[in-house]
Amino acid sequence: MFSVKFLQSLQRVATRAFNTTARQMKNKVPEKQKLFQEDNGLPVHIKGGTTDVLLYRLTMSLTIAGTGLSCYWLLVASMPRSK
């Protein structure tokens, strides 16, 4: 079906593609580690900046709204139907 030569060349091309992209990307993990480990009195969900604050508030709003709707529908489901 596939020749050995074709598979070897495919492997070479795939390896080359991954090796060149890995060199172009910069590792940002050490910078983020310094930012989040520094002791400045801020909670971890605020240390990342405005984006983290907005994501935190959105998550909490959705959680509270979902809990409220779940409780509402549990209450509606527990009431007997009127005849």
Q: Give the pLDDT confidence of 21-74 residue by residue, as tens digits.
A: 556 788 999 998 998 899 988 888 888 889 999 999 999 999 999 999 999 999
Residue 20 has pLDDT above 70, yes or no: no
pLDDT of residue 71: 98
CATH code for the structural domain at 4-78: 4.10.91.10
Buried b (16+ CB within 10 A) or exposed e, 32-45: eeeeeeeeeeeeee
Q: Which residue has the tokens 């979902």?
A: 66
Six-digit token pair at 45?
Answer: 């969900």
